Amino acid sequence: MTTKLHAVVDAIGLPLRIKPTPGHYGDCPQASSLLSGLKGVGHVIADAAYDADHLRAFIASDLKATAQIKANPTRSSVPTIDWRLYKERHQIECFFNKLKRYRRIAMRENIDRIHGVRPSRIRYDLVALNADRP
Q: Are 114 and 122 in contact (CB under 8 A)?
A: yes
Alpha-carbon span 46 to 37, nearest angstrom: 18
Is the pLDDT at 83 greater than 70, yes or no?
A: yes
Give residue-wise pLDDT tens across range 14-23. Answer: 888 888 888 8
Alpha-carbon span 6 to 93, nearest angstrom: 12
Number of compact structural domains in the chain: 1
Q: Provide the residue range defining the domain that includes 99.
A: 3-128
Q: What is residue 65's predicted lDDT score, i.e. its pLDDT?
A: 95
Q: Are 25 and 5 in contact (CB under 8 A)?
A: no
Is the pLDDT at 117 greater than 60, yes or no?
A: no
Q: What is residue 118's predicted lDDT score, i.e. its pLDDT?
A: 54
Q: Are 69 and 57 in contact (CB under 8 A)?
A: no
Q: What is residue 116's predicted lDDT score, i.e. its pLDDT?
A: 47
Q: Note whether residue 134 is domain-resident.
A: no
Q: Which amino acid belongs to residue 22?
A: P
Q: Note whether residue 133 is domain-resident.
A: no
Q: Note whether residue 34 is domain-resident.
A: yes
Q: Provide mean pLDDT across the span 41-64.
A: 95
- Tell me the average pLDDT of the chain: 82
